Amino acid sequence: MAEAGRRVLVVSTDPAHSLGDALARRLGPRPARVPTRAGRLDAVELDADRALARWLARRRPALRLIAERGTYLDDEDLEALFRLSLPGVDELVGLVELARLSRAGHYDHVVVDTAPTGHTLRLLAMPETVQRIAGVLDHMYAKHRFLAERLGGQYRPDASDAVIAEMEREGRDLQVRLRDPRRATFDWVLLPELLAVAEAKDGVRQLDRWSMAVREVLVNRVLPPAPDGCALCAARRRGEQTAIRAIRRTFPGRALRFLPALPREPRGVPALRAFARALAAPSRGAALVRPHPADRRQRAAATPRPPAGPPAWLPVVAPPGVRLVLFAGKGGVGKTTCAAAAALALAEAAPERRVLLLSTDPAHSLGDALGTPLGDEAAPLAGAPPGLRARELDAEREFRRRRERYRTAVDELFDTVRGGSAFDAAFDRAVVQDLIELAPPGLDELVAVLSVTEALLGRDGQPPAYDTVVVDTAPTGHTVRLLALPAAGLAWVRTLLAILLKYRRVMRPGRLAEDLVALSRELRQLDRLLHDRRATRVVAVTRPGELPRRETRRLLDRLQQLGLPVAAVIVNTVPPPGLPACRRCRAAGREARAEADRAVGRGRVVLLAPMVAPPPRGVRALGHFARTWAAASAGGAPAPRRPAARRSRRPGAARGSARVVGPE
Amino acid sequence: MIILDTLLIGGLRFVLGKIATAVESEMEDDSALREELLAAQMRLELGEISEAEYAELERSLLNRISEIRSRTRGPTPKPGTFKVTGVEATFAGEQPPDEEAEAGPRRR
């Protein structure tokens, strides 16, 4: 667009940014010029925390005033509350910041690279949340207005009213703009895989429901017909054709466009320019999906049958006594498939162990991967060991369930303000109930943490229902957010406890305090568990390729910063060696092994999971798949056997933990 | 000034109400002690007191709670001075059903 002479801003709102990797330049929260032949192109990677801080800095006095006049809280309490970090700020701030950036730079177009499905849908629902927050603040301030009117006769709106009005207006504007097809269009990008089709179906349906215009569905990384008559590529092509037929059925009458899988991912401006030509081709890539004689080629040699019995990698990923195994990684690398396969292997190897396979990605794929519908109730799987249960967490439902409990606890709290001015308490009660009504930003991560806690530590004095929880997380950015949440949540709980303690002579802390004390204990336990390398294992899943490699490296660094034990890196979809394969497959295989070498060289355990065409679906296929993962080793040395004695002796030792399980 | 009156009277009533509750709770039941216990738990979570201090506090509070419990049950009645007048539903939650008939008259 920029080279057609327009002024364009491209923004990434995914907390795990890849935009800079794609453009091959360092990007930050300030627009950076990208050199183009014509027009103007600026690029930004949003920093939500910074954006929120900037937004708050200017409005802080007004917001403070609202809180001060609208509640019982004093300076000290408010200071403590304002210091807390918001866990789910990315979605909340993302859109508002987008609006600000596009206003500031006089752009003709703003192109947004969003986070993966689940959180993008959350982002698009935010204008309503902004309006509702404005509503809560308005409620808070109503007390002041009421008093001022009664005492002074006439109320004149002040700076605080202006902030409330601004938020209300901004929320409404965004809502209108997103629904106006002349001002906002959506392009849905997906891979030619059945899991992605199911996710896209739900996502596009949701956008339709919100009357947001999905202009085009882009099917990316479609394999061109196999060169050298490669059997593996032919099988993959057939799998993709099945998915593409499903896409055509799912989106009848919608514009589809097919983009080729390039031998090398388009990185940097020249490569992206070439890719853009394919993007603009009037044929919409139709030739790419036309059946080709090479597609019929059958596999010459069957893949060797994997050995029976528990896979050799199991003690690395899920050693005896492990309680929490988290699968993390970029979208589309096969996290769900790997998590499901690992949970099955674990349950088979230890039938007495009660294992919960939990998907916390708001755009669930777990049921699709297992080939069986799943819901919010943990359910056994046909054909799987009886100790295994699977659940797709419904964050909103779970939140509603917990909200009821807090609502009654808050009611009790206000009932204990006896003999006081009924008028004051009525206002405060309304404000607090409003706050509880408001689903917090970062809801998915919050509820995920609470659910994992409940599954592993029990609740209300009940013993825990599971020995081990295997989590299929949302893609990178939100996994990191999830893992940082127990600490952030603890800060919130403690601040609230301190406030309740302070006012306990006026209001009986009661059940709310009891719940908060329990929550505080649970979060502490969970935080301890997360940093205990005997109890918690994080597995990073990636695939051969430049962008996933870079994102994975950042993920591993971040995990190390958070002091979380990384068990292994799984490089997924590696063309198996030894098969007669084409240039493309051999190159991908070489790249995967080179990458594995580097990681192993850094002391990490790397598992290579083979490319399977079509991808493994269902309990049987996944169980089989899990047994085909093999440890990669540096320079052809034997696969690393992880000696138990090499495990860290100090469970709390956080830094450098990824190194400990590596080979000598 | 109607508003001032309401505020003043409201405030006064508030204070009186609070005193009444405080007296009431310390005299008649253990709820004040239970609140102390909860407050101690809150302090422990906040790191204001140590585990040892908490254990100490908890023990003394639990002792006082059980003391109050035995006191509110009142002195044991002399045998033979009561006759069974009936079983009251109010006791259902406190004792197993088979003790009700015996427990009923104790508080008369």
Residue of B12, B23, B38 best to disrupt the A interface, most CBs of A under 10 A? B38
| CA distance linking residue A388 with residue A384, whole number of Å | 7
- In this complex, do A150 and B18 lie within 8 Å of one another by their Cβ atoms? no
Task: For residue range B8-48, list pLDDT tens digits in order.
Answer: 555 555 555 665 555 555 545 677 888 889 999 999 999 99
Q: C-alpha A279: how far from its chain's center?
A: 27
User: Of A151, A421, A498, which is closest to B14 when you measure between CB atoms?
Assistant: A421
| CA distance linking residue A444 with residue B64, whole number of Å | 44
- In this complex, do A517 and B41 lie within 8 Å of one another by their Cβ atoms? yes
In total, the C-beta contacts within 8 angstroms joining chain A to chain B are 56
Q: How buried is residue B50: exposed, middle or buried, by Cβ count under 10 Å (0-12/13-18/19+)?
A: exposed
Q: C-alpha A188: how far from its chain's center?
A: 18
Strands A32-34 and A40-45: antiparallel
Strands A388-392 and A355-359: parallel
- Coil/strand/helix, residue A260: strand
Helices (H), A395-466: 395-415, 422-437, 443-457
CA-closest candidate to residue A363, choices A341, A338, A392, A390: A392
Task: Write out the two tokens for A234.
Answer: 């032919």
User: Of B7, B21, B46, which is closest to A421 when you measure between CB atoms?
Assistant: B7
- Coil/strand/helix, residue A654: coil
In chain B, residues with a C-beta closer than 8 Å to the C-beta of A516 are 42, 45
| CA distance linking residue A560 with residue A231, whole number of Å | 41
Residues of B with CB under 8 A from a CB of A: 3, 6-7, 10-11, 13-18, 20-21, 35, 38-39, 41-43, 45-46
- In this complex, do B38 and A421 lie within 8 Å of one another by their Cβ atoms? no
Question: What pLDDT is attached to residue B15?
Answer: 58
Task: Write out the two tokens for B14.
Answer: 């508030």
Instruction: Give the residue on B whose Cα is nearest the Cα of A521.
Output: B45
In chain B, residues with a C-beta closer than 8 Å to the C-beta of A500 are 42
pTM: 0.79
In chain A, residues with a C-beta closer than 8 Å to the C-beta of B18 are 418-419, 505-506
Strands A255-260 and A388-392: unpaired
How far is B100 from chain A, CA to nearest CA, in Å? 29
The secondary structure of residue A288, as a DSSP letter, is H
Q: How buried is residue B81: exposed, middle or buried, by Cβ count under 10 Å (0-12/13-18/19+)?
A: exposed
Residue of B14, B16, B42 best to disrupt the A interface, most CBs of A under 10 A? B42
- Helices A443-457 and A395-415 pack at an angle, to 10 degrees, of 80
Instruction: Give the residue on A whose Cα is nearest the Cα of B9.
Output: A421
Task: Write out the two tokens for A635.
Answer: 């320079």
* Half-sphere exposure for A607 (CA within 13 Å, toward CB): 27
In chain B, residues with a C-beta closer than 8 Å to the C-beta of A151 are 3
- In this complex, do B46 and A494 lie within 8 Å of one another by their Cβ atoms? yes
Task: Write out the two tokens for A407.
Answer: 């609502």
> Within a 10 A sphere around the Cβ of B39, how many other Cβ atoms?
18
Instruction: Give the residue on B whose Cα is nearest the Cα of A502.
Output: B39
In chain A, residues with a C-beta closer than 8 Å to the C-beta of B41 are 517
| CA distance linking residue A260 with residue A222, whole number of Å | 5
In chain B, residues with a C-beta closer than 8 Å to the C-beta of A527 are none
Q: Does the CA dihedral A393-A397-A403-A408 come out positive or negative?
A: negative
- In this complex, do B45 and A497 lie within 8 Å of one another by their Cβ atoms? yes
| CA distance linking residue A191 with residue A168, whole number of Å | 38
Question: Sheet harboring A7-12: ordered strands across?
Answer: A32-34, A40-45, A7-12, A109-113
Give whole-number Cα distances, A20 to A29, A85, A621, in Å.
Answer: 11, 26, 37
| CA distance linking residue A282 with residue A5, whole number of Å | 20
DSSP string, chain B: -HHHHHHHHHHHHHHHHHHHHHHHHHHH-SHHHHHHHHHHHHHHHHTSS-HHHHHHHHHHHHHHHHHHHHHHT-SPPPTTS-------GGGTTTS-GGGHHHHGGGG-
The secondary structure of residue A10, as a DSSP letter, is E
Contacts of A343 (CB under 8 A, 6+ apart): A325, A355, A357, A388, A390, A470
Residue ranges, chain A, pLDDT below 50: 300-302, 635-664
CA-closest candidate to residue A334, choices A539, A541, A475: A541
In chain A, residues with a C-beta closer than 8 Å to the C-beta of B26 are none
| CA distance linking residue A284 with residue A244, whole number of Å | 14
How far is A565 from chain B, CA to nearest CA, in Å? 26
| CA distance linking residue A470 with residue A536, whole number of Å | 10
- In this complex, do B18 and A151 lie within 8 Å of one another by their Cβ atoms? no
How far is A518 from chain B, CA to nearest CA, in Å? 9
Q: Which ipTM value was assigned to this complex?
A: 0.71
| CA distance linking residue A236 with residue A611, whole number of Å | 9
Strands A7-12 and A109-113: parallel
| CA distance linking residue A520 with residue A390, whole number of Å | 27
Question: What pLDDT is attached to residue A376?
Answer: 93
Task: Write out the two tokens for A220.
Answer: 């990316």
How far is B90 from chain A, CA to nearest CA, in Å? 24
Question: What pLDDT is attached to residue B100?
Answer: 41
Question: With b meaning 16 or more CB within 10 Å and e meaning fewer, what string describes A493-507?
Answer: bbbbbbbbbebbeeb
| CA distance linking residue A21 with residue A550, whole number of Å | 7
Residues of A with CB under 8 A from a CB of B: 150-151, 418-423, 493-494, 497-498, 500-501, 504-506, 508-510, 513-514, 516-517, 520-521
User: Of B18, B43, B46, which is closest to A419 when you measure between CB atoms?
Assistant: B18
- In this complex, do B3 and A151 lie within 8 Å of one another by their Cβ atoms? yes
Contacts of A655 (CB under 8 A, 6+ apart): A560, A563
In chain A, residues with a C-beta closer than 8 Å to the C-beta of B10 are 420-423
User: Of B14, B35, B46, which is closest to A419 when you measure between CB atoms?
Assistant: B14
How far is B43 from chain A, CA to nearest CA, in Å? 8
| CA distance linking residue A619 with residue A161, whole number of Å | 57
- In this complex, do A498 and B46 lie within 8 Å of one another by their Cβ atoms? yes
pLDDT tier for residue B57 given thresholds of 50, 70 and 90: very high
| CA distance linking residue A600 with residue A657, whole number of Å | 14
| CA distance linking residue A630 with residue A568, whole number of Å | 12
Does the N-terminal peptide bond of residue A614 adopt cis geometry, omega within 30 degrees of 0? yes
Contacts of A87 (CB under 8 A, 6+ apart): A440, A441, A442, A445, A446, A481, A484, A485, A488, A489
- In this complex, do A505 and B14 lie within 8 Å of one another by their Cβ atoms? no
In chain A, residues with a C-beta closer than 8 Å to the C-beta of B20 are 419
Instruction: Give the residue on B whose Cα is nearest the Cα of A504.
Output: B39
- In this complex, do B17 and A508 lie within 8 Å of one another by their Cβ atoms? no
Question: Sheet harboring A355-359: ordered strands across?
Answer: A379-380, A388-392, A355-359, A468-472, A324-329, A536-542, A566-574, A606-610, A630-632
Question: What pLDDT is attached to residue A377?
Answer: 92
User: Of A150, A151, A500, which is closest to B42 when you measure between CB atoms?
Assistant: A500
Task: Write out the two tokens for A84.
Answer: 């807390």
CA-closest candidate to residue A192, choices A233, A231, A242, A226: A242
DSSP collapsed to 3 states, A531-589: CCCCCEEEEEEECCCHHHHHHHHHHHHHHHHCCCCEEEEEEEEECCCCCCCCHHHHHHH
Give whole-number Cα distances, A261 to A170, A289, A576, A585, A629, in Å.
Answer: 40, 12, 19, 12, 25
User: Of A150, A505, A520, which is closest to B45 when you measure between CB atoms?
Assistant: A520
| CA distance linking residue A12 with residue A556, whole number of Å | 21
- In this complex, do B45 and A513 lie within 8 Å of one another by their Cβ atoms? no
Task: For residue range A73-116, list pLDDT tens digits in order.
Answer: 788 888 888 777 776 777 878 888 888 887 887 888 889 888 88
- In this complex, do A150 and B3 lie within 8 Å of one another by their Cβ atoms? yes
In chain A, residues with a C-beta closer than 8 Å to the C-beta of B35 are 504, 508-509
| CA distance linking residue A663 with residue A633, whole number of Å | 9
How far is B24 from chain A, CA to nearest CA, in Å? 13
- In this complex, do B46 and A501 lie within 8 Å of one another by their Cβ atoms? yes
- In this complex, do B42 and A521 lie within 8 Å of one another by their Cβ atoms? no
